[in-house]
Structure 1
Amino acid sequence: MPLSPLEHDRRYGELDQVIRAYVGQPADDTPDQPSRALIAYLRQTWHSRPWALASAEQQLREYADNPPGRLRLRLGEFYAIPDVGLPEGEIQQWLYCLADHIRGSIEEGAVPEPAAPATHWEWHARFPELGQFLGGWFSQDMPDEFDDHEAAVDDYRATADAQLAARLVGELHELLALGLDESDYALAVAELGMEVDPPAPYSPSGWLTLVTEQLTAPRPDYGSPVGEG
């Protein structure tokens, strides 16, 4: 029978995170050099969930030691490695290579320096609420759903939990603190799901600043209804 969510996460949860880091990226790791995708995974995980690295190394190695047969894959009892662009016969050694790099990073305390995200996975891992906001409120359907960008932001503010909105503000500040070029901010919002342009005359960073101000502005207080108080 298929794995339960609990069993899947217990056995393959962090392995799955490593593999997801390769979406849109080449699996070109070598014994001497980790790939761009693995460096991004290491950077984000070291700075947010360092305890998960040991689980990743263990799950990668155990999966490589005991690759699933066709029957168990068909029954859904194993995690199926998505296509990463490698021949099937090279997957096992690739998994060992990833495990070795992660183990070396742990044992040597080799923590990648803070930097702007380098991959699609890293953008979403670092800015999860911003990804929800941009992908949910600023998709290509946004002009059909809202009068303008300001109305979309107001709708998010009115419907999102206050704690999530506060998290979004923090992520906006963090993104703006990266000090990227405007072309890189345009790439950032696109990676995070925005499918419409910022409103004229704003640049991407100028609009992100405006959104931050809009989300943190005091809500209007219209007082108590007549007859109350």
Structure 2
Amino acid sequence: MSMKPLEFDRRYGELDQVISAYAGMPADDEPDRPSDALQAYLRHTWHSRPWALSVAEQQIREYARHPPGRLRLRLGEFYPVPDVGLPESEIQDWLFQLADHLEQSIDDGAVPPHSAPRTHWEWHARFPELGQFLGGWFSQDMPDEFPDHDTAVRDYTDTTDRNLVARLAGELRELLTLGLDEADYAVAVAELGMEVDPPAPYSPSGWLELVSDRLVAFRPDYGPPTDG
């Protein structure tokens, strides 16, 4: 019988966050150097949920000490580590190495400096609503669903909870304050799911600025007033 969500989170929730950071990335951690994937996890988590680092270290070390057998994995009673490109015989040592890196980072108080995200996982962890917006409204199907970019933006604001619209506005401002080169903004929107070009004559950052301004001015339509 598979675990209930609360039990899963208590035992493996933060372990899963760490492993998710390795999606599409090599698990090439060394004793003296965490991989790019783990550095992305450390960078994001130190600045967003620093308390979670010790939870991750504990969950990973406990899992490595007591790896599950095939039966319990099949029953869904343990977290199955996804394929990270390592032989099964090396997974346990790799997990201990991750736990050691996390422990050292905590003990040293080694808070990474703020910077632009450097992995696909980190882009989406830092800008989750922007990823929903760009990936959901500006995929390659956008020209078949909307006549232009402005209509797609209006559809987002008309159909999305206003709290999420406000969150998107904040994420856009945070992205724009990074002051990236234009080529890096092109990479950013692609990583976050945008599969169409910005409308002419806008560059990626210019269009993001335009959308940000419109979201700031956005007022939800609550319908006609009612008598109180």
Asked if the contact 1:153–1:215 (Cα under 8 Å) also holds between the matched residues in 2, the reply is: no
Q: What amino acid is aligned across from residue 27 of structure 2 in structure 1?
A: A
Q: Distance in 2 between matches of 1:219 and 1:57?
A: 44
TM-score, structure 2 as length reference:
0.95
Confirm or deny that 1:14 pairs with 2:14.
Answer: yes
Q: Distance in 2 between matches of 1:199 and 1:47?
A: 34
Alignment deviations for residues 116-171 of structure 1 (CA, whole Å, 9 cap, x no partner): 00111100110011011111111111111111000000111111111111111110
SS in 2 for 1:79: coil
TM-score, structure 1 as length reference:
0.94
Alpha-carbon spacing, 1:218–1:40, altered in 2? closer, same or farther (3 Å) = closer
Runs of 4+ more than 6 Å apart? none
Alpha-carbon spacing, 1:148–1:76, altered in 2? closer, same or farther (3 Å) = same
Shift of 1:3: 1.1
Q: Distance in 1 between matches of 2:109 and 2:131?
A: 30
Shift of 1:217: 2.3
Shift of 1:218: 5.1
Counterpart in the other structure of 2:209: 209
Confirm or deny that 1:180 pairs with 2:180.
Answer: yes
Alpha-carbon spacing, 1:69–1:220, altered in 2? closer, same or farther (3 Å) = closer
Q: Distance in 2 between matches of 1:4 and 1:73?
A: 14
Alpha-carbon spacing, 1:211–1:74, altered in 2? closer, same or farther (3 Å) = same
Q: What amino acid is aligned across from residue 207 of structure 1 in structure 2?
A: W
Runs of at least 5 residues in structure 2 that lack an aligned partner in the other structure:
none
Counterpart in the other structure of 1:108: 108
Question: How many residues are treated as equivalent by the alignment?
Answer: 225
Q: Distance in 1 between matches of 2:182 and 2:32?
A: 34
Aligned ranges 1:64-79 → 2 under 5 Å: 64-79=64-79
Runs of at least 5 residues in structure 1 that lack an aligned partner in the other structure:
none
Alignment RMSD: 1.7
Alpha-carbon spacing, 1:90–1:153, altered in 2? closer, same or farther (3 Å) = same
